[in-house]
Structure 1
Amino acid sequence: MINPENLSLDKKNIDTILVLDFGSQYTQLIARRIRELNIFSVILPWDISVEKIVNLKPKGVILSGGPESVTETNTPRIPEAILEMEIPLLGICYGMQTLAEQFGGQVSTSKNKEFGHAEVLIEIPSLLFDGFSSGSSIDVWMSHGDHVSSLPDEFQLIAATNSAPIAAMQHSTKPIYALQFHPEVTHTKQGNTILENFATKVCKCSANWKIENLIQQRIIDIKEKVGDKKVLLGLSGGVDSSVTAMLLDQAIGKNLICVFVDNGLLRKNEADEVENLFKEKMNLNLIVVDAKKIFYRHLKGISDPEQKRKVIGRTFIDIFDNEAAKLKDEINFLAQGTIYPDVIESSGSESNEARVIKSHHNVGGLPNDMKMELVEPLRDLFKDEVRKMGSELGLSLDMLNRHPFPGPGLGVRILGEINHDKVTILQNADAIFIEELIKANLYNHVSQAFCAYLPIKSVGVVGDERRYADVIAIRAVETVDFMTATWAKLPYNFLAQVSNRIVNEIEGVSRVVYDISSKPPATIEWE
């Protein structure tokens, strides 16, 4: 979210919900749901200073879930400063458990962890469940190993399930509520209504925060940070770096210098397309660097996915540093199109409680010996918010609707060691898949689609001849926020057409498989 300490908008007229982060991978979804209501939200770690909490003046606080157990010592707790502020509280999962424990209730470890759908029965009327009648049920998503086994004094039971007898509770006299389930995930079908009830009816927030405010604020922030100095931007051609370029262009104009690094891990013909769009059509200062050989050399013999990501990241930074050194003017800042899912999965939040899923080459700051400072205006935004911002800034629909492409490129879609031949095979297969999606009018019906090169070979028969060659996996997912995703149910005849084309047109492929894994438990990318 926007750093509240740097806001120059009129904060008196902007109501704020504070999301206190206990390390959940879903924390950003909570803030996102609140922002969808046009209510400003900001995320701070659970151990944030009292001064920052007081300066923020939140109208309500949501306590996130987390991986720890309140039954153990030295695990996160709600700061006393928040409890002393006597403002509305909503605890979710771990947030409910620590709230119950701190108010004198009892939390126990469940015999079996509960993960998945559940049916919650509304026990008594509650402002949090306004619009739901007593005795009605709602479908929710559970993900917990502990549960509240005894209500704190002055708390009432407001909802229950067969496996969690205390699924929701509220204070008898204060605006304090708690849920064992996760209203922020799409699996809880009426979760948005519950969060809206808390924000608007319990906290009495006004819906006066818009994406236009965010754009104005980011431009102001960039101007204040950069001044009249030069900024070097790594431009990939994707939505994230393109929106970053537009913001920087509006903020500092020709003081923005864009560098496009052809790392040899791009989609087919992408280097030419990027140069044509940004240099010829958008008239940005663009430098194109052909670094394919450098990346291939550094990646030789490396198959571990984390090591590949780190090598790609280091090489990327080194090339940027070299390009900056070549420029006549001193470059003080490096801009990147980092977005929040990257940060979450790299455990790059302020709190140390988040769990690392995978590292991202553009997350985690810069090497100590690098002379530039970072500018990351999208670091706290989700993909859909970046697209909304791009639309407001005037980016074309083709650009806005383009599927995400990982920073390490095909480096995380080639499982095992990377070389030029594998890249060529994957580029051609991916181009066929995307071409067929567009022809079948399916491209905009899926959120992300791509091919992955598997580190195995299989026997096939092509033209009456035996072929022992590579295996390509195709993947397409549907998602709103890229934190959770379901595999796309593409038509069988479409999949057959894609498979036939890949096997028949690419000599190095003998077999095509379709990935039907959802996130979680899988991630969208294979590495």
Structure 2
Amino acid sequence: MDEIVVIDYGSQYTQLLARRVRELGVFSKVVGPDYTFTGKESGIILSGGPESVYEKRYDLPQFGGIPVLGICYGMHLLAERFGGHVAKGAHGEYGLTKVKFFPSPLFEGIPSESVTWMSHGDVVEVLPPNFKMTAISETGITAAFESENDKIYAIQFHPEVVHTSYGREIIKNFVFGICKERPEWTMNNFIDSEISRIKSVVKDQKIISAISGGVDSTVATLLTYRAVGDNLIPVFVDHGLLRKMDINVPQTLATLGIKVKYVNASELFFEKLKGVSDPEEKRKIIGNTFIEVFEREAKASGATFLLQGTIYPDVIESAASSQRSAKIKSHHNVGGLPEKMNLKVLEPLRTLFKDEVREVGRLMGLPDAFISRHPFPGPGLGVRVIGEITREKVGILRDADDIFVNVLMRAGEYSKIWQAFAVLLPVRSVGVKGDARSYEYVLALRAVDSVDGMTASWHQIPFEILRMASSEITSKIPQIGRVVYDITDKPPSTIEWE
């Protein structure tokens, strides 16, 4: 099976490029600038990035006739490589920008003018010899150029983001019209190939599965169980930071034929988190403590691998996919892992986005109760109690979160939301309860809509549902005196508060 390779130069959108290609039914993967070609590549995409080519220029590989599409910084690399010139523009282009298109195989079937998403300060001042301009922005800047004979195409805007009106069509033209690919890659293909890969990597060794009961760890566990059978040892660690709905996970998974070992390690986690307020430190402590517990369990069982439900957004936000990307936050199962540990890590879902993971779960027969569950971070309520973690605060938040989720379920709103949860703030607010002054915690409610977790918009919960949630929380939980609703998109915020 051929593949489209995306060479990553540090853009926050790089993984979206691979995703857009996969959505067309063609396998795509993200690689670094030092990637060695294998001969399976049917096309190459050069991503954008934060650098300027006159300050940091990567050596481009010999393409050998393979079609190439350069985007933003990738476009500038192509311009310089083939004799053009890039310089800082008199003004940048950021956000929605109108572009005029000229005839090109890349723009087949799209209007002669449309809106694109730009994010650049540098411009191609001089085109490479024997290349022609195929698009120009409303400010007169070269928005695309190409050498059709050499199968080299370059665009200044980002077709991978939804803000570019015909971005999907442009990528489709490159993949099918120029690279001559066929839509043969599916999640069924992924399941088959990943099971084979796991078998070849693990052989007859035993694996400890870090299972939380969320979608990612459940799918990773079932997929790996299909590959190695009883050599997989699922372990459910109760770190004291779980939601109410997570407590019965071992019993629920037993209905799927997966026997889970329950380990109560809450005392250990709370002791190590005592006095810690910094969110990065909390995540790393939780990650390290998880490893400590799993290494102990692995030693007892003879396991040499640790299975985790790491997915692409975890990798991206931890900047573990690229040294060129900005680090947003560490994830306990990516950036939170200790530098040295005795277990080899197995992450079968590492290249998938959340909706792709859910599709894999459906194909493997997981019930909808698992698949439709909202995402839950590995550090659990530890990153939803802002500041220092205590058992009291976690208990307050656990009850409030459970009320919020149940209100959404009763109102039929839960299934309309990608992720909803409560956050306990390190703030107390004056209020009135029973004709007396109160001074209690402030609770923030958050609900967002997303597809893959890379971007998100706040969900507009009807006011009457928010009123029900607020009333029930403040009535049943005396330690909470005020409830607020978070109406911030991602970006500029992240979905979780920490």
Match of 1:298 in 2: 272
Q: Identify which of 73, 76, 87 aligns with 1:108.
A: 87
Q: Does 1:205 align with 2:186?
A: no
Q: Is the 8 A contact 1:299 1:418 kept in 2?
A: yes
Please say if 1:63 is aligned against 2:42: no
Q: Give, in angstroms, the shift of residue 108 of structure 1.
A: 2.2
SS at match of 2:94: strand
Aligned to 2:249: 274
Report the Cα distance in structure 1 between the residues aligned to 2:73 and 2:487, rounded to whole angstroms.
31
Aligned to 1:483: 454
Give the corresponding residue for 1:130: 108
User: Is contact 2:212-2:246 (8 Å) kept?
Assistant: no
Q: 1:186 offset after TM fit, Å?
A: 1.9
The alpha carbon displacement at 1:113 in A equals: 4.9
> Which residue number corresponds to residue 361 of structure 2?
390
Determine helix, strand or coil for the equivalent of 2:412: coil
Aligned-residue offset at 1:346: 1.0
Matches within 5 A, 1:329-368: 330-349=302-321, 351-363=322-334, 367=338
Where 2:41 maps in the other structure, the secondary structure is coil
Matched-pair contact (CA < 8 Å) for 1:17–1:39: yes
- Classify the secondary structure of the residue corresponding to 1:355: coil
2:55 is equivalent to residue 77 of structure 1 = no
Q: Distance in 2 between matches of 1:363 and 1:164?
A: 43
Amino acid at match of 1:132: I
| Structure 2 match to 1:23 | 10
452-461 or 356-365: bigger deviation:
356-365
Residue 11 of structure 2 is aligned to residue 33 of structure 1: no
- Residue 323 of structure 1, aligned match among 291, 297, 309: 297
**Superposed displacement of residue 152, structure 1:** 2.2
Q: 1:439 aligns with which of 397, 410, 413?
A: 410
Distance in structure 2 (CA, Å) of the matches to 1:366 and 1:410:
19
- The range that moved more, 173-182 or 374-383, is 173-182
The offset of 1:371, in angstroms, is 2.5
Q: Please say if 1:515 is aligned against 2:491.
A: no
Number of the residue aligned with 2:171? 195
Q: Secondary structure at 1:410's aligned position in 2? A: helix
CA distance in 2, matches of 1:504, 1:287: 37
Give unpaired runs (5+ residues) of structure 2: none
Query: How far does residue 223 in structure 1 lie from its aligned partner after superposition?
Result: 0.9
Residue 507 of structure 1 aligns with an amino acid whose one-letter code is P
Deviation of the 1:142 alpha carbon: 1.9
**Once the two structures are superposed, what CA deviation does each residue of 1:226-248 show, in whole Å capped at 9, x if it has no partner?**
11221110110001110111111
Once residues 131 and 269 of structure 1 are traced to their aligned partners in structure 2, the CA distance between those partners, rounded to angstroms, is 49
Between stretches 501-510 and 198-207, larger displacement belongs to: 501-510
- The residue that corresponds to 1:149 in the other structure is 125
- 1:23-81 CA deviation, whole Å, 9 max, x = no partner? 11211110111011111112210122xxx31x143111110111111121xx2425232
Distance 1:499 1:109, change over 3 A: farther
What secondary structure is seen at the aligned counterpart in 2 of 1:342? helix
Q: Distance in 1 between matches of 2:284 and 2:136?
A: 46
Instruction: Tell me the SS of whatever aligns to 2:209.
Output: strand
Structure 2: how far apart are the matches of 1:178 and 1:399?
43
Encode CA deviations 1:195-254: one digit per residue, 9 max, x unaligned.
001000011111111211110111111111111221110110001110111111111111
Preserved contact between residue 250 and residue 259 of structure 2 (Cα < 8 Å) = no
In the alignment, structure 1 residue 376 sits paired with structure 2 residue 347: yes
1: distance between equivalents of 2:364 and 2:245?
26
2:288 corresponds to 1:314: yes
CA distance in 2, matches of 1:182, 1:384: 22
Q: What amino acid is the match of 1:333? A: F
* Greater displacement, 408-417 / 173-182: 173-182
Instruction: Give the equivalent residue in structure 1 for 2:258.
Output: 284
Alignment check: 8 A CA contact 2:288 2:337 kept: no
Alpha carbons 1:260, 1:289 under 8 Å: kept: yes
C-alpha separation between the residues in 2 aligned to 1:26 and 1:407? 24
Residues 114-263 of structure 1 mapped to structure 2, 5 A cutoff: 114-122=93-101, 124-134=102-112, 137-163=113-139, 165-171=141-147, 173-263=149-239
1:337-380 Cα shifts (integer Å, max 9, x gaps): 1111111111112x421221111111159646533211111111
Distance 1:417 1:81, change over 3 A: same
**Partner secondary structure for residue 362 of structure 1:** coil
1:105, CA displacement in angstroms? Answer: 2.0
Tell me, in whole angstroms, the C-alpha distance in 2 between the residues paired with 1:20 and 1:139: 25
The amino acid across from 1:275 in the alignment is P
In the alignment, which residue of structure 1 is the partner of 2:75?
96
Equivalent AA in structure 2 for residue 46 of structure 1: P
2: distance between equivalents of 1:451 and 1:464? 27
Question: How far, CA to CA, are the matches of 2:224 and 2:131 in structure 1?
Answer: 51
Residue type matched to 1:373 in 2?
A: K
Contact 2:215 2:373 in 1 (8 A): yes
Is structure 2 residue 378 aligned with structure 1 residue 404? no
- The separation in 1 between residues aligned to 2:92 and 2:133, in whole angstroms, is 22
* SS in structure 2 at match of 1:245: helix
CA contact (8 A) 1:60 1:87 kept: yes
Counterpart amino acid of 1:35?
R
C-alpha offsets along residues 98-142 of structure 1, whole Å, 9 cap, x if unaligned?
A: 1112222222224555432222222x11111111243xx222222
Give the equivalent residue in structure 1 for 2:439.
468
Contact 2:284 2:332 in 1 (8 A): yes
Which amino acid is the alignment partner of residue 278 of structure 1?
A: L
The number of aligned residues is 498
1:436, CA displacement in angstroms?
1.6
TM-score, normalization by structure 1: 0.91
- More divergent stretch after superposition (200-209 vs 146-155): 146-155
Cα contact 1:256–1:285 (8 A) shared by 2: no
| Alpha-carbon distance in 2 for matches of 1:269, 1:133 | 50
| Superposition CA RMSD, Å | 1.7
Gaps spanning 5+ residues in structure 1: where? 1-13
Alpha-carbon distance change, 172 to 373 in structure 1, aligned in 2, over 3 angstroms:
closer
Residue 19 (structure 2) pairs with residue 42 (structure 1)? no
Q: Give, as a single letter, the amino acid of the residue that structure 1 aligns with 2:281.
A: Q
Partner of 1:6 in structure 2? none
Q: 1:87 Cα deviation (Å)?
A: 1.8
Partner of 1:87: 66
CA distance in 2, matches of 1:321, 1:127: 55
C-alpha separation between the residues in 2 aligned to 1:112 and 1:449?
Answer: 41
Task: Tell me the SS of whatever aligns to 1:353.
Answer: coil
Contact 1:140 1:189 in 2 (8 A): yes
